Structure 1
Amino acid sequence: MDTEDKMETYQRFIQEGKDVASEKLESRIKTIEELLAQSDSEEEDEEFVNVNGSGLMLFKELYDKLYDYQINGVAFLYSLCRDGRKGGILADDMGLGKTIQVISFLSGMYDNELAKHTLLVMPTSLITNWTKEFAKWTPGMRVKEFHGSREERTMNLEKIQRASGVIITTYTMLMNNWQQLSSYNGKEFTWDYMILDEAHKIKSSTTKTAKSAYAIPSKNRVLLTGTPVQNNLKELWALFDFACQGTLLGTAKTFKTEYEHPITRAREKDTTPGEKALGSRMSENLMAIIKPYFLRRTKAEVQKNNKKGQLPCKEEYSETKDGKVQNIPKDSGAVMTALTRKNDLIVWTYLSLVQEDIYRQFLSLDHIRAAHDNQITSS
């Protein structure tokens, strides 16, 4: 018997019992009401799914649209909060859907009233895409841009700070307006989450961008990047120092002594067996420390874990030319996009008169001429 039938029976039972009130009847009525309430609760629970048993309840309709590795990503993001960590890094390859993983995570956090205010920072070129993805996957979530005219961005910021929701802004806006983003009604404002997309923008902690990001008070920080280490281990330290708010890898000086120097030294040509062993051990220690705070999957790994390189059996959604979202059936065999071989095209061209003049002036500089003469002599 479904809920409607139960309710109809209950109403009929009440109608028939109006003139025959008794303690026994009232007891039966109370029992039926409790059963109906329990039934409604169970139906409501069926609308949400416990993400990988992590404890985060996610709207089932959204959950069913995620691939298995994306579900794992949402569970990872929640584990950072659940286990009392101050932040972490989601470093999946480009194209694996870091955006939808973050949006799904925030949806679950907001639905469970575990977060109210999120500051999402990104390059200007990504604002349109993030806004569109929020509208597609979580249309009920309040999302505003801190971008554009001063009046508009101020109004949007205050609206989110006063109620709840997500503010989307850029690194440039962050640098120029970090004081405003850090206050509300003349008092310091602390964000529940501060999320940086293309987080390698703060790979050096001494830049103005990084200093502005550090200045924003936030309880939790999440970094998104497909390239966590571009040049050296110091960049990795900078990312984790920001994400974990200085609680994980110590100071830059300590990290350089304990990890960066021995690991780097072990990779050099003239390293000794002892230095190589020390570097290997410190590298393993470093990976063990950051593992709970770091998640990275490559396209090759995801394809390898699925038959014939296909994505897990979930529904696919794509946009038609008129902007409407269309559903691709589960058995369509959607295959993950693979990058083709890189081709370099070299085009030779002549300098303009102005460029040639500047180049000749450059070559005539004393230190450039000296370097050039030394190179000829040594060869």
Structure 2
Amino acid sequence: MSRSRLLALVLTLVALLVAAWQRFQAVERLSQDFDEATYLPIAYTYAGMLDEGRWSDIGGVRENFEHPPLVKLLFAQAVRTTHAPEPDWENVPMGQPLPDAARPAFRVTRGLSAVAGVLQVGVLATVDPVGALLLAWDPYHTKYTSQAYLEAVPGLLATLALLAFERARRGAAGFASPWLAVSGALLGLAAAGKYPYGLVGGLTFLPFLVSGARTRWRAWAAFVVPTVAVFLLANPALWSSPFASLWESVTFHWDYSHSEHVRRSALPWYQPLAFLVDPWLSRSQEGIYLTSFNTWVLLPLAVVGGPRTWRERPVWAVGAVVGLVFLLLWSTKWPQYLLLVLPALCVCAGSGVWTVVGWGGRLVQRARA
């Protein structure tokens, strides 16, 4: 085994260990967060419907209709499989340790998210092990893939879609249709988990499809048909009236982004960047987040590594730019939205580490000469 492969293997193992340890601590120690108070009661509603075989009623649940039901259905199956009792939600406080009676419900649903988060780190290690390590200890990725949020599963699927799309590209020769179909199916499934993951992924792939497949209808069909088919099949909320329901969800997000709640938060347009350079989260609770390293270096390293990523892994470079532009333009600036861009940003930052190492090596050589 070459030194480079051995180093990559060691970095991958360290990244997976860090990711698993940090997320396990977060699953056990984080208090209930605001969105969990919405998603988990709905998961128990879905669980009751599944117990009674009422699949056709799932699309009729109006609470939290703005988000598709896929991840909440996975949470429902988790509590059904483990027989975790439904907590008394009025006695589960915000910002305080979880009551013992509520721990089984939170442990199994958060555990599902944490597994998806660790797997995402593992997938990223096949692209850049240093980037995977940066993602493993990132406080935002840790927090929102260790709670019963909607981020972890769609994030994993979107990362797999990026990897499959990268393998589908053949440069000037066009695309490999089987990998293109796999990428489209994964993207459709990610969108069925949470819509923005499909939107950002689709915008990332669009320039490559336009430039590499503009006159090849088979390539477009290989990508678009699986994307749409899987998205519809995995989204029960759209089965009865696909266009009307989807339009209702889209308009809700647009209206909410301009709502009084968002305006009252008064977060500036650059807030996503401010989150990335603010160590508040990594210092918010001792014993969970190993380091605030990303706060100081993630963005600078991503900028340094951007040109190298563009040369070697252009899909990830475009994904980082598209994700950041989306976050800066979109009016809703909640911190969990950072997970739309963190994997691609960590790949660019990993390239930045190798670029800096190369600079250091050349300086040493010049000093010796």
- With the shorter chain as reference, the TM-score category is under 0.3
Q: Look at both structures and tell me which one has the larger radius of gyration over its CA atoms.
A: 1
More strand by share: 1
TM-score, length of structure 2 as denominator length: 0.26
More helix by share: 2
